[in-house]
Chain A
Amino acid sequence: RKEVEQDPGPFNVPEGATVAFNCTYSNSASQSFFWYRQDCRKEPKLLMSVYSSGNEDGRFTAQLNRASQYISLLIRDSKLSDSATYLCVVKGTGGFKTIFGAGTRLFVKA
């Protein structure tokens, strides 16, 4: 089993749609969770951290479910500019063991 698993997609949605991605992780001792965004042939950039209480940033909402070991990302009112690959990132306790998921591709169409 991979340490961090994501549905690779692609998710094809129309503008204005709501779309959700899940990511599961295998190490129950994982401490920190993030969503990064990666545009085609570009470097990853932090989209948002994921807190235990859940957090929201504009149209983006991230949730953490420790019992089931998954995190989610919800995008409301999708824009064309949201088209990208979304990377789930999990960090363990101490050290620098940061695990990147392979990413979920999203295409938002007009």
Chain B
Amino acid sequence: NAGVTQTPKFRILKIGQSMTLQCAQDMNHNYMYWYRQDPGMGLKLIYYSVGAGITDKGEVPNGYNVSRSTTEDFPLRLELAAPSQTSVYFCASSTPPAGGSSHEQYFGPGTRLTVT
């Protein structure tokens, strides 16, 4: 199993450009997540999905969009890049939590995005 894969690893965007960050998992996990991590800060949830066709906003969704057409893929779209979106983006997946109990999230290697 490759686990969670993300592309690209690095990207530099100009202000106002658009791009899609790709995320795929081969563990048949229903739940997928997008986080951003700014230097010295914790991960913040952007969007999440509980299954194909179902997505919802997290803590910091403004400026981003997602889709989930298959169980495996969960791309993140930036429409009009801004310097404030310079960050490291992590995609993660997990099995559904059982009765609110713990469940491990598996993370991809991240995409380092710079907007100038």
Contact = CB atoms under 8 A, between A and B. Distances in A.
Nearest to A2: B42
Contact of A43 (B40, B44, B104, B110): B110
A102 B109 contact: no
Interface residues of A, number: 24
Given A8-B40, A100-B43, A31 B105 contact: no
A101 B42 contact: yes
B61 interface: no
Given A96-B48, A96-B58, A102 B104 contact: no
Contact of A96 (B40, B44, B45): B45
Nearest to A44: B107
A93 B100 contact: yes
B42 A45 contact: no
A74 interface: no
B90 interface: yes
A98 interface: yes
**Could you tell me the dominant secondary structure of chain B's interface residues?**
loop
A43 B90 contact: yes
**Could you tell me the dominant secondary structure of chain A's interface residues?**
strand
Given A43-B109, A44-B90, A101-B42, A96 B100 contact: no
B108 A32 contact: no
Interface in A1-57: 4, 8, 31-34, 42-46, 49
A87 interface: yes
Contacts of A99: 42
Contacts of B31: 96
Nearest to B47: A96
Interface of B: 31, 33, 35, 40-45, 48, 56, 58, 90, 97, 100-102, 104-105, 107-110
13 contacts: A4-B42, A31-B101, A32-B100, A42-B110, A43-B90, A43-B107, A44-B107, A46-B105, A87-B42, A91-B97, A91-B102, A96-B56, A102-B41
